[in-house]
Each structure stands twice: as C-alpha cells, then as structure tokens.
C-alpha cells in the first residue's frame, strides 16, 4: 500500500510538473554594467515584458571584466529561461575577439534585439578652441598627443570608434580610461579632459554643459538624438564601420540549451512588449532607439558586425603605438 501511495504521489508530481506553464516565478535579466541611464532602458523593456508574462523581470546589475562577468554569471545558471542575458555588444562580440571570453554569438538563442545608441564626440559648451569638428582635428594635427579624451572604459566600443576616427584623420590624443562615464563627464566639465565620447543617456543629463561636434553613426536618425548635430560623415570622414558596428546595442539572449517552447514564450512576450507604442516612445525619449530586429535576423545582423569590429581593434593598437611616438 505504502509503495502504491509513493508511486501515485510521484506520478501526480510529475504530471503537475509537465503541466506547469513557464514562467512560474520571477525572471532575472543579467545586465553587464553599473546602474544608470542605460540600465533604466533595460528596465523599461523588462517591466513591459514582465507584464506580458505575468511575472516580474528584475534587471540585475553585474558589472566587471568589460561585461564578461555578467555573461559568466548567467552561464552558471540553469538553461530554463529564468535567466536572460542582456547581450551588449562588448561581452557578446568584442571580448571574445580580444580573447577574454570563449563563447561566440552562436552559443546563445536570441530573443529580440533591444535598443541601439549611437555615440558622439563632445566638448565643453564654452570651449572656444573647437568651434566645430574640423577645428578639433586641426588642433590634434598641430599638437599630437596634447589633448586628453575619455571614451569611458578603454578597449570597448566607444573607444574603438574614436580610435578609428582618429586613425582615419591621422591624429592622436591621450586616452584616459574612466570605468564610470559619469566621472569622466565631470572631469570634462571641470576642464581636466578636452573631449569625450558619450552615449545618449549621458548627453541627456548634461546637454546644457556640452556641445556635440560629431555624431558617430551613419544613421540619419542618430543626429536627432543629439539635437540635430552633424554626423562625422558630414565632414567627409569615413568611419570605416557600417550599420550597427560603430554603435552600442544589446540583444536579449538565453542559453543555447533552453527548451524551444520556453524560448518561444519569451520571444513572443518581448516582441509584444517592444511593439507597444508607449514603450517605443519611452525608450526614444531616453535617447535609446528600439532596433526592432526579430530573433530570425540575429545571425544575419551580428555576423557582419563582428568582422567590422576587427578594424576597430586594429585602430586601438594603432592609437597605442602613435601615442608612444608622441612622448
């Protein structure tokens, strides 16, 4: 009798497990940077997606090792759909290219792409040495290594794009890394730095005190994010990086082993969340442009980005060498 009861209980438990619908509990989005405006953009999507799924999606800031710590942390969790990778380009594509991580973008199943944000070169509003971008380039040509700039952290995307622009113009400035970009903008405003590469979130909080010299994107819409400022191409300078390659973007992902039905549920919820007009507008207001790429377009979009970024890595190496020569 006891044996029968045990078997019956086990069968009931198994049956209830099989019937249990995903998700049964809260989901975590592992975000690779420190808190701030960019994390707020992920939070907007997480909240809307959570409403679709009927559970809470919390955005967990796990900064460290240029974003790879977040990926490592998420990889340690079970492939059950309860952990989402906030797949920023740095940990997803760039760090593996530097040899700092052993995964590729093909090791994940994609949900939808989230947002993109273009970068821009800014100076202090009252800095009359540089009325426009050509004036900045001219100054750097005449005084190699004399100016100081920060792209936030080094070896990441904004640094690559800045190095690429300087390589194309054959000029160089001293790069100063700041893990927290807010501290860099403080030092720009305090006249310690001469120029900076910033993202839309930082621009929105500091637009009264900085002047945009050039937007680093080939998309025309990117100018709108920075108050209609000219793009670097408008000065006849080719970025040498196309499409998403010179921009910050994130694609939400799960582990490759996650069951297909769970992935489909997540994809559906994220697609619906991103299609909402209020969410779309909220992200745009914050300076983050929803990308709208579906899970099917993942490989087609990411593969060329990876090859374009190689030229950015070369530009950083070029910058290092050139800076040594100016000492």
Q: Which residues bind other proteins (CB under 8 A)?
A: 28, 34-37, 39-40, 43-44, 47, 50, 56, 58, 60-66, 68-69, 72-73, 98, 100, 145, 148, 153-155, 174-180, 182-183, 185-187, 189-190, 192-193, 201, 204-209, 282, 285-286, 327
Distances in whole angstroms, Cα of residue 225 to Cα of each of 152, 200, 240, 321: 19, 7, 22, 34
Q: How far is the CB of 32 from other proteins (least distance, A)?
A: 11
Pick the closer one to other proteins by CB: 104 or 281: 281
Q: Which of 313, 304, 312 is nearest to 105 (CA)?
A: 304
Q: How far is the CB of 256 from other proteins (least distance, A)?
A: 19
Helix axes 260-275, 37-53, angle to 10 degrees: 110
The secondary structure of the chain in percent helix, strand, coil, rounded to multiples of 5, reads: 50, 20, 30
Pick the closer one to other proteins by CB: 209 or 234: 209
Q: How far is the CB of 190 from other proteins (least distance, A)?
A: 4
Q: How far is the CB of 292 from other proteins (least distance, A)?
A: 21
Pick the closer one to other proteins by CB: 231 or 322: 322
Task: Evaluate whether 200 touches 116 at the Cβ level (below 8 Å).
Answer: no
Pick the closer one to other proteins by CB: 99 or 236: 99
Q: Which of 87, 89, 116, 105 is nearest to 215 (CA)?
A: 116
Q: Which of 253, 321, 322, 250 is nearest to 288 (CA)?
A: 250
Q: How far is the CB of 264 from other proteins (least distance, A)?
A: 25
Q: How far is the CB of 5 from other proteins (least distance, A)?
A: 34
Pick the closer one to other proteins by CB: 246 or 287: 287
Question: Per-residue DSSP letters for 146-181?
Answer: -SEEE-SSTTSHHHHHHHHHHHHHT---EE---SSH
Return the SS3 of 309: helix
Helix axes 37-53, 277-285, angle to 10 degrees: 170
Q: How far is the CB of 168 from other proteins (least distance, A)?
A: 24
Pick the closer one to other proteins by CB: 190 or 228: 190
Pick the closer one to other proteins by CB: 199 or 293: 199
Distances in whole angstroms, Cα of residue 245 to Cα of each of 20, 217, 239, 242, 301: 41, 9, 10, 6, 10
Q: For residues 21 and 177, what is the distance between their CA atoms, to the nearest angstrom?
A: 47
Task: Evaluate whether 312 touches 160 at the Cβ level (below 8 Å).
Answer: yes
Pick the closer one to other proteins by CB: 73 or 168: 73
Q: How far is the CB of 95 from other proteins (least distance, A)?
A: 9
């Amino acid at each position: 009798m006891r044996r029968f009861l045990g078997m019956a209980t086990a069968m009931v438990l198994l049956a209830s497990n099989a019937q249990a619908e995903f998700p049964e509990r809260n989901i975590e989005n592992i975000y690779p940077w420190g808190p701030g405006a960019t994390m707020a953009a992920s939070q907007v999507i997480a909240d809307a997606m959570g409403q679709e799924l009927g559970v809470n999606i919390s955005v967990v800031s796990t900064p460290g090792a240029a974003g790879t710590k977040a990926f490592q942390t998420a990889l340690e969790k079970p492939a059950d759909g309860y952990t989402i990778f906030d797949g920023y380009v740095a940990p997803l594509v760039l760090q593996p290219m530097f040899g700092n991580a052993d995964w590729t973008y093909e090791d994940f199943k994609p949900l939808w792409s989230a947002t993109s944000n273009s970068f821009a070169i800014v100076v202090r509003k009252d800095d009359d040495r540089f009325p426009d971008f050509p004036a900045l380039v001219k100054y750097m040509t005449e005084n190699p290594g004399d100016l100081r700039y920060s792209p936030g952290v080094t070896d990441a995307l904004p640094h690559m794009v800045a190095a690429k622009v300087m390589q194309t113009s054959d000029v160089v400035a001293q790069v100063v890394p700041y893990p927290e970009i807010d501290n860099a903008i403080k030092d720009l405003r305090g006249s310690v730095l001469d120029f900076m590469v910033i993202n839309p979130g930082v621009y929105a909080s500091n637009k009264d005190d900085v002047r945009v010299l050039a937007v680093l994107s080939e998309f025309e819409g990117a100018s709108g994010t920075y108050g209609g400022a000219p793009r670097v191409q408008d000065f006849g300078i080719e970025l040498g990086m196309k499409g998403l390659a010179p921009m910050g973007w994130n694609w939400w992902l799960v582990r490759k082993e996650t069951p297909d039905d769970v992935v489909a549920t997540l994809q559906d919820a994220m697609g619906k969340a991103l299609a909402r007009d209020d969410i779309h507008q909220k992200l745009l207001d914050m300076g983050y442009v929803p990308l709208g790429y579906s899970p099917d377009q993942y490989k087609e979009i990411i593969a060329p980005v990876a090859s374009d970024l190689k030229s950015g890595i070369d530009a950083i190496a070029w910058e290092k060498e050139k800076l040594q020569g100016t000492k």
